[in-house]
Structure 1
Amino acid sequence: MQRRHLLKAISLVAVSAALFTSAVAHADDKVVKVGTIGGPDAQIWQVVQKVAKRDGLDVKVVEFNDYVQPNAALDAGDLDANSFQHQPYLDSQIKQRGYKLVNAGLTYISPLGVYSKKLKSVKDLPEGAKIAVPNDPSNENRALLLLQSQGVIKLKAGAGTNGSNATPLDVAANPKKIKLVELDAAQLPRTLADVDAAAINTNFALAAGLQPAKDAIALEDVHSPYANLIAVRAKDKDQPWVKKLVAAYQSEDVRQFLKTEFKGSMVPSF
């Protein structure tokens, strides 16, 4: 009798353990939906998907064509993570929209550049030249700081630093009377025929067939603090799948892909 009870107890423990193991395995089977921008970012995530799969993590990539939707979708729970932005932009979105999102890990630095179909150098900008810049606060700030570093304009003291974003109203000196045209970042490559120059994010430049190292007439320094990142909801930041996702991105496979495929236009920041 005692033996029968003992066997029954052992069986119950075994069943419980099996159920627990199954539950854990099911949790590990989670398909992680990651939002990113179509083009180069989507290409990189194809490599990340393969690395993550080897570690038992399934990743589904959802492509967007602007900078607004990925954070809205992540905050709403339609995505598990996104990967397209740098910290200053994320901070500005959190401040404006109240998102509860955090940086889970860095990906790469992609220098913003000034491009032109009419000029060979920033020094060749004519008086009254039109320069198109991104109209979102963070990337417009980058563009203005880049133009300042090239001697095109001078900003008011402290503008665009310490968490603030400079705007055209912060231009203190404009020797060539440059006209700044504010447009959606994704539309800037299409404006090159209509303006003298445009400050374009690398992902949109590459998607338009431009090579930053070859075609830009001015580039942000490679040590720019504007490194891109993987964002997740604050409540998920310690989840095991987040660590796996970040590790997959920060793998040697992805590092080598960035170096060979983009040749300096996307510099690993891990």
Structure 2
Amino acid sequence: MKKLGFLSTAVLAAGLLAGCTGSAESEELSEDKLVIGVTSGPHEQIVEKVAEVAAEDGLELELKVFTDYVLPNTALAEGDLDVNSYQHEPFLEKFNDDHDTDLVTVSTTILNPMGVYSDQYASIEELPQGATFGLPNDPTNGARALFILEEAGVITLKEGTGLTASIFDVEENPKELEFIELDAAQIPKQLSEVDAAAINTNFAIEAGLNTIKDSILLESSESPYVNYLVVREENENDAVLEKLTQAYQSDEVKAFIEEEFKGSVLAIW
């Protein structure tokens, strides 16, 4: 097995957590301004465009950018954000279960098709026996990677396995792939240290990878991992969210996504 050079994100995470000191209050969101959390990369770029469109309708969006998948929900639950835009429903459900929170989806945004990448092999079929395969270490995105492999016929998962499938649910593994769970944000930096890896689109793009051209296997467009705008439950019917949704799901934003990402990110509305 190849030796992996793990990179610590503990200091960054601690710093961001220190900033999440607010407390959520059961009050209606402002109709003039929203603080919205996004992950760096495509979500950040798209919401910057959404902010331009929303401003034309008198709604100011203040962006807070995060570099992991947990802190935007922590900040939202604690009241430091009004809304966030970065996650799919399976991840949200898992977060709510694990943290006893009541965050809810508001409206669909985009689909970031997860891809499998390799510095050494041009197709999934070329992977040798015993190849090392990197996948995200968070339960929902790790399961997502396994479903991509199953759909391609590389592995078989146990019957009845749900959206929280883990490497322990792999029933058949003809290539005897060695699964290595890694921090999702670090996988692009460690791609050369494994034979192949599943990488979330935002991290792939940040690393200069083109989802369409560079992936050796790509998630189906029928994926259930569509992203959403997410808020606290007490705010899900606030009037301002309709204004935000209209800005996000506008023709201007859709055209921006198509031009900027050229199929690597899909508008789902």
Quote the Cα distance in structure 1 between the aligned partners of 2:128 and 2:31.
Answer: 59
Quote the Cα distance in structure 1 between the aligned partners of 2:216 and 2:102.
Answer: 38
Secondary structure in 2 matching 1:28: coil
Quote the Cα distance in structure 2 between the aligned partners of 1:174 and 1:27.
Answer: 52
Tell me what 1:114 maps to. Answer: 116
RMSD: 1.2
* Mapping for residues 131-210 of structure 1, pairs under 5 Å: 131-160=133-162, 164-210=163-209
Structure with the largest fraction of helix: 1
Secondary structure in 1 matching 2:98: helix
CA drift of 1:200 comes to 0.4
**Native 8 Å contact 2:30 2:240 kept in 1:** no
**Native 8 Å contact 2:135 2:180 kept in 1:** yes
Secondary structure in 2 matching 1:35: strand
Quote the Cα distance in structure 2 between the aligned partners of 1:267 and 1:185.
Answer: 20
Secondary structure in 1 matching 2:109: strand
Tell me what 2:23 maps to. Answer: none
Amino acid at match of 1:203: N
* Mapping for residues 200-239 of structure 1, pairs under 5 Å: 200-239=199-238
Quote the Cα distance in structure 2 between the aligned partners of 1:267 and 1:48.
Answer: 15
CA displacement 1:217-245 (0-9 Å, x = unmatched):
00011121110010011111111111111
CA drift of 1:51 comes to 0.6
Amino acid at match of 2:87: Q
Which residue, out of 55, 68, 79, partners 1:77?
79
CA displacement 1:113-156 (0-9 Å, x = unmatched):
10000000000001110000001111011100101112221111
Secondary structure in 1 matching 2:46: helix
Which residue, out of 48, 56, 59, partners 1:57?
59
CA drift of 1:192 comes to 0.8
**Native 8 Å contact 2:117 2:217 kept in 1:** yes
Quote the Cα distance in structure 1 between the aligned partners of 2:222 and 2:170.
Answer: 24
Amino acid at match of 1:235: E
Quote the Cα distance in structure 2 between the aligned partners of 1:40 and 1:155.
Answer: 31
Change (3 A) 1:77 1:27: closer
Question: Normalization by structure 2: what TM-score?
Answer: 0.88
> Structure 2: where are the runs of 5+ without partners?
1-28
> Structure 1: where are the runs of 5+ without partners?
1-25
Quote the Cα distance in structure 2 between the aligned partners of 1:210 and 1:154.
Answer: 28
Tell me what 1:28 maps to. Answer: 31
**Native 8 Å contact 2:36 2:81 kept in 1:** yes
CA drift of 1:158 comes to 1.3
Tell me what 2:89 maps to. Answer: 87
CA displacement 1:81-119 (0-9 Å, x = unmatched):
000000110011011111111101000111101000000
CA drift of 1:28 comes to 3.4
Quote the Cα distance in structure 2 between the aligned partners of 1:255 and 1:41.
Answer: 13
Quote the Cα distance in structure 2 between the aligned partners of 1:70 and 1:147.
Answer: 29
Secondary structure in 2 matching 1:119: coil
- Percent identical across equivalent pairs? 46
Tell me what 1:255 maps to. Answer: 254
Quote the Cα distance in structure 2 between the aligned partners of 1:188 and 1:117.
Answer: 12
Quote the Cα distance in structure 2 between the aligned partners of 1:157 and 1:57.
Answer: 48
Question: Normalization by structure 1: what TM-score?
Answer: 0.87
Higher Cα radius of gyration: 1
**Native 8 Å contact 2:104 2:230 kept in 1:** yes
